[in-house]
Amino acid sequence: MTIRLGVNIDHVATLRQQRGEDYPSVVEAAVHSLQNGADQITIHLREDRRHIQDTDVEAVHLVTKRYGKPLNLEMGSHPEIVEIAIASNPEWICLVPEKRQEKTTEGGLDLLDDSTFIRIEEACQKLKANIKDVKISLFLEANPKILEKAFMLNADAVEVHTGEYAKKFLNGEDITPYLQKFAAAKEMIVANKWGCHAGHGLTLESVEPLLEKNLFVEYNIGHWIIAQAVFDGLGTVVKKFRDKFDQFNS
């Protein structure tokens, strides 16, 4: 099994948008990431366009195509964003919740809420009907009741929200309950023959216990990579992740 590394380059665009310049380039960020071992590039086109812009989607997709790697487009279920996704034809789409006031995605989709479930169900149906061979992941908490609802949808994978786990790790607190929850979630997801992915808040250190437990087949990591790149360079940081992942590849 090869553990896949998705590099999220949203915060390269965050830095660019702060000054309204053309730099730093998300295209160059995608190139550097892929050249140093990323298995895919992840970008989140938010409804408020706070970082990634519409034109970035096609530009980054051209890079991933050139390297023979997938684009993973994170997005909410707003109809306008769904139409952009259909026009862009990404290989993967990760449906996530969005709130305008949040600094970043704060948790998984609440599929126990009827209106949210219907909205996600409609988005999945439209995306599957209009993008040939697209695969869809759902950004969810490791909650058995939510996972049971997810399996009623036309999707292919769950990306488990690791944000709270990552905070506990950084604070030196006990992470055992999270590892247990993730293992139980993995069992359900694999039994349903879906992909078991993870993302949010992870660092080079906090990802290691997850790798040791063989919990996920794909990790999407962004903020820490871009932050550490200020000191070490983007290519160097991505390569460190690639080397760590390869230690656990069979």
Just list the catalytic residues. Answer: 44, 74, 200
Distance CA 208, CA 30 (A): 24
Distance CA 142, CA 158 (A): 9
Distance CA 183, CA 87 (A): 37
Residue 67's nearest CA partner among 35, 91, 92 is 35
- How buried is residue 102: exposed, middle or buried, by Cβ count under 10 Å (0-12/13-18/19+)? exposed
Distance CA 208, CA 243 (A): 12
| CB 229, CB 249: distance < 8 Å | no
Residue 215's nearest CA partner among 240, 248, 173 is 248
CA torsion sign, 82 to 85 to 90 to 94?
Answer: negative
Give the 3-state secondary structure of 102-125: CCCCCCCCCCCCHHHHHHHHHHHH
